[in-house]
Amino acid sequence: MGKSTIIPFGPQHPVLPEPIHLDLVLEDEKVVEAIPQIGYVHRGLEKLVEKKEWPEMVFVIERVCGICSFGHGWGYCMSVEGNLGVEVPPRAQYLRTIWHELSRIQSHLLWLGLIADAFGFESLFMHSWRLRETAVEIFEDTTGARTTFSVCKVGGLRRDIENEKLAEIVKKLRDKEAELRELTSVFLDDNSVKKRLVGIGALTKEDVIELGAVGPVARASGVSNDVRLDGHGVYNELGFEPCVEEEGDSYARCKVRVREIFQSIDLIERAVAAIPDGDIAIEIKGVHPAGEFLARLEQPRGEAYYYTKGSGEKFLERVRVRTPSNANVPALVKMLQGCDLADVPILTLTIDPCISCVER
Amino acid sequence: MSIKKSPWIIHYDCSSCNGCDIEMLACLTPMYDLERFGIVNTGNPKHADVFIVTGTVNTQNIPVVKQIYNQMPNPKVVIAVGICAATGGIFRGCYNVVGGLDHVIPVDMYVPGCAARPEAIIDGIMKSIDILAEKQAALDEGVVPEEICGGYIYEGEHDEHGTLITDEDADAAEEEQDVGATPDQEEQE
Amino acid sequence: MNIETHPADALLALAQDTKADGWRLGQVCATTIGDSVEMLYTFEKNNELKSYKFMLNAEAPELQSVTATYPYAFIYENEIHDLFGVKFKNLAVDYEGTFFRIAEKTPWNPSAAKGGEN
């Protein structure tokens, strides 16, 4: 047994798009312990609730994270709507679901690119991001912005998508499907990619339950944890079934996300086929949230909680966002124990960490 | 000027929401392709000419920003990408936000937007390369590096964890900056 | 919303019961309301939620850590310690106030900082 050494990993590291710091305790090339250290991205944005009125606060909550921005906006709106006891028109529910699934496609392709970069395939990274532009272009086309597009408001949506455009969106996604299959088959079938992912950072079903992991990390280990099963949005109407794999290693986590990209395209197609005509928002006037409400939502990275508490004033007393990356950090710490130093970047990425979500 | 033909960039995410970071990365990918201008993304500050920062500055990441900036060789330019890096943006007034990047290091170029669009980022980088070339020319003429590239300007002190000890008077430096060009650059024009 | 309020010393027993019953700890949230800190523990099982609420004194908030039952609670507890000044007894992974490392002590609950905490 060698002498133990502590290696600092991050905050500025080529493989990390975001600053997280890990103190890696090593014995020779094996990691014995990993201690996460955060605070580089902490802004304290939940406290802005004291300065921004509740209808405005949605803009702040959307900026918890730019990758899953739409879901954060939706979750906050859902929470305030629950607080006020209002129902959102069905067309708005369908459109929210469509935008949310597009965000999932965008986010998973982004992740595929980053993991490709981490295991050393730069051209695969480039192709993943090239295809990711398909979803981003749809955002731009329908909302005018590429990342943080602020279409959700309490009571519904700010923008509609015409039915012809919805059909175009489905066609656009279906047109790219062959290319997506080609791309994802490299991740799932290529020998050298498999060598870098299969068996790396395996978590059993019991581990995942014990660590409280959520989202694709949990689903890759055989735990069918998916908030979409509780039917927020219109997932019940669309006949949603979660993608679950059993192996629990990095490869399984990759496979879950790949399957979810195609599942999201299917869900969008079904939503477009079933979307009713009608209003996209209801008017909310003269009332302020006076109770407390906890809403849940399935983000690309897993289950997220949105808690709002009001006292009948225009400023809420508390907004709290529990993001999926927050729940997945303990799983990462566990995975890193006993891994090779060379696998640290891949393992860090397999939970799809979103540090600005963790710290807010 | 060879430095204009192939400037290398380094990107650091201060406390950004990721919006500008993914747009920054999108700039490097085939749709926008910064590499066609000879621009290469590097992770090593000592290889970099252009320092791109997204997000607001907080007390925790000030030492990191300073360290990257000081490790970069002269001449160097700094670009603040996104409204958060320029002024603090929507997060201005949060308890853990000091403000824009210019509280910490001199900034040569501000790219507006929330999130900044890839076209705007590319434009900002291309404009900053001209400033880089001017700085190179001045250095070649024997101007002292401090006069054109400066040191960091943030005076707060930190303990061994990198946490700020004294409360910095953030208001003093909170004057609004014009988005686009810095006063220095206007004088040169 | 399914919320029950309990005295603070009931937390550990409640956590053990919910764990034995197969519930997962969903989130822990703290809110400062006047001179008290309100702690909200949410548990999830088969897409059902239940929450327990505990009221603490804002000047010297103290609570038992649930990390012995739910080890992954260390993330929430360290965060709440740094932001609200709540002291968790028997915290399994204690960062001792260096988890967030922010300049301002307990920004969400200034009265805990005045009380000589940290």
Q: Give residue-wise pLDDT tens across range C91-104.
A: 777 777 677 777 77
Residue A307 in this model has a pLDDT that exceeds 70: yes
Q: CA-based angle A7:A8:A11, to the nearest 5?
A: 160
Contact between A259 and A242 (Cβ < 8 Å): no
Please identify among residues 17-76 of chain C the ones whose CB lies closer than 8 Å to any CB of chain A.
24-27, 29, 31, 33, 40, 42, 44, 47, 49, 51, 70-72, 74-76
Please give the model's pTM, rounded to 2 decimal places: 0.84
ipTM metric: 0.83
What is chain A's length? 360
Q: Give residue-wise pLDDT tens across range A134-182.
A: 999 999 989 888 888 888 888 889 888 888 889 999 999 999 999 999 9
User: How many Å apart are CA A163 and CA A170, to the nearest integer?
Assistant: 11
User: What pLDDT does residue B155 have?
Assistant: 55
Band of pLDDT at residue A101, cut at 50, 70 and 90: very high
Nearest to C116 by CA among C60, C64, C77: C60
Band of pLDDT at residue B177, cut at 50, 70 and 90: very low
Place of tokens 């094996």: A30
Q: CA-based angle B179:B181:B187, to the nearest 5?
A: 140
User: How many Å apart are CA B183 and CA C5, to the nearest integer?
Assistant: 59
Residue C27 in this model has a pLDDT that exceeds 80: yes
Within 10 Å of residue A101's Cβ, how many Cβ atoms? 28
In percent, how much of chain A has pLDDT > 90? 20
What's the fold here for domain A42-327?
Cytochrome-c3 Hydrogenase; chain B (1.10.645)
Question: What CATH number corresponds to the domain at position C107?
Answer: 3.30.460.80
CA C80 to chain centre: 6
User: What pLDDT does residue B164 have?
Assistant: 47
Q: Give residue-wise pLDDT tens across range A6-24.
A: 877 777 666 666 777 778 8
Q: A43 and B22 in contact by Cβ < 8 A?
A: no
Amino acid at the residue C79: E
Residue pairs between chains B and C whose CB atoms are closer than 8 Å: 21
Q: What are B77's two structure tokens? A: 């330019």
User: What pLDDT does residue B149 have?
Assistant: 67
User: What pLDDT does residue B34 have?
Assistant: 87
Question: What CATH number corresponds to the domain at position B25?
Answer: 3.40.50.12280
User: What pLDDT does residue B168 have?
Assistant: 40
Q: Give residue-wise pLDDT tens across range B55-111.
A: 888 877 888 888 888 888 888 899 999 888 888 888 887 877 877 888 888 888 899
Find, in chain A, the residue whose alpha carbon is nearest to that of C33.
A317
Range of the domain at C15: 3-114
Q: Does C100 touch chain A (CB under 8 A)?
A: yes
Chain A environment of B15 (Cβ under 8 Å): 40-43, 356, 359
Query: Could you tell me which residues are beta bridge partners of residue A5?
Result: A26
Q: Give residue-wise pLDDT tens across range A88-99.
A: 899 999 999 999
Residue A324 in this model has a pLDDT that exceeds 80: yes
Q: Does A47 touch chain C (CB under 8 A)?
A: yes
- In total, how many domains does chain C have? 1
Q: Give residue-wise pLDDT tens across range A230-272.
A: 878 888 888 888 888 888 888 999 999 999 999 999 999 999 9
Range of the domain at B116: 2-188
Contact between A88 and A282 (Cβ < 8 Å): yes
Q: C104 and B163 in contact by Cβ < 8 A?
A: no
Contact between A197 and A119 (Cβ < 8 Å): yes
Nearest to A201 by CA among A256, A143, A142, A247: A247
Q: A125 and B114 in contact by Cβ < 8 A?
A: no
Residue B186 in this model has a pLDDT that exceeds 50: no
